A = this chain, B = another copy of it.
Amino acid sequence: MSGLRARQKADRHRRIIEAAAELFRDAGYEGAKIETIASRAEVSVGTIYNYYQNKGDILGAIVSMEVNEVLNAGQGVVANPPANVGDALDTLLGIYIEHSLHYLSKEMWRQAMAISTQLPDSPFGQAYSALDRALTEQIRALIARLQALGLVRRDIDGHALGELVFNNMNMMFIEFVKRDDARIAELRAAIRRQNRILVAAIAV
């Protein structure tokens, strides 16, 4: 069962995603009609729904690629963090934020976030939650690393702290994508300011 059928399947998947990604960027998510995606991918409308449960899942596949890249980039920081708690957090969160608009526009993020709340049990909803969890885990891993290096007090609840840091960043990021004129530099500065309170509390 890995002959022609499987190859065609993979190929159609790729064509649909590529057509959709291009159209989402050019026409926006709402402006991108399934019919247009279908014709550009050279499949029928019905076939698209054979591959993805709904329009949101197509966007979901693109979001997943982006976040996985970010997670990958973050690993470097966790393995080798700056020797200062504030800088370490800022560097990791900075990677997340700076990367975020690489493939996805703010409008695409808004849609993705909306769908993940609206349909938390859809394939994309589940995948999005998993990505959030993975980011939280990475922040926790950084904190654990800093504790191991003696930069963060050992008696701090690293689990709760990681969630707190992630939640705050995520909420700030949501507000950021909601405002088209919000700038990345300001977002980072605001998050740094908030984390300063935490850093004061947890640094050795």
Contact = CB atoms under 8 A, between A and B. Distances in A.
Interface size class, chain A: 35 or more
Nearest to A120: B178
A64 interface: no
Q: How many copies, total?
A: 2
Interface string A86-111: 00000000000000000000000011
Interface string A16-57: 000000000000000000000000000000000000000000
Contacts of A171: 166-168, 170-171
A168 B164 contact: yes
Contacts of A131: none
Interface of A: 110-111, 113-115, 117-118, 120, 125, 129, 156-157, 160-161, 163-164, 166-168, 170-172, 174, 177-179, 190, 193-194, 196-198, 200-202
B156 A197 contact: yes
User: What does DSSP make chain A's interface, helix, strand, loop or mixed?
Assistant: helix
A35 to B, nearest CB: 22
12 contacts: A113-B117, A114-B117, A114-B118, A125-B178, A156-B197, A161-B197, A164-B168, A164-B198, A167-B171, A198-B198, A198-B201, A200-B201
A202 B197 contact: yes
Nearest to A170: B171
A44 B164 CA distance: 48
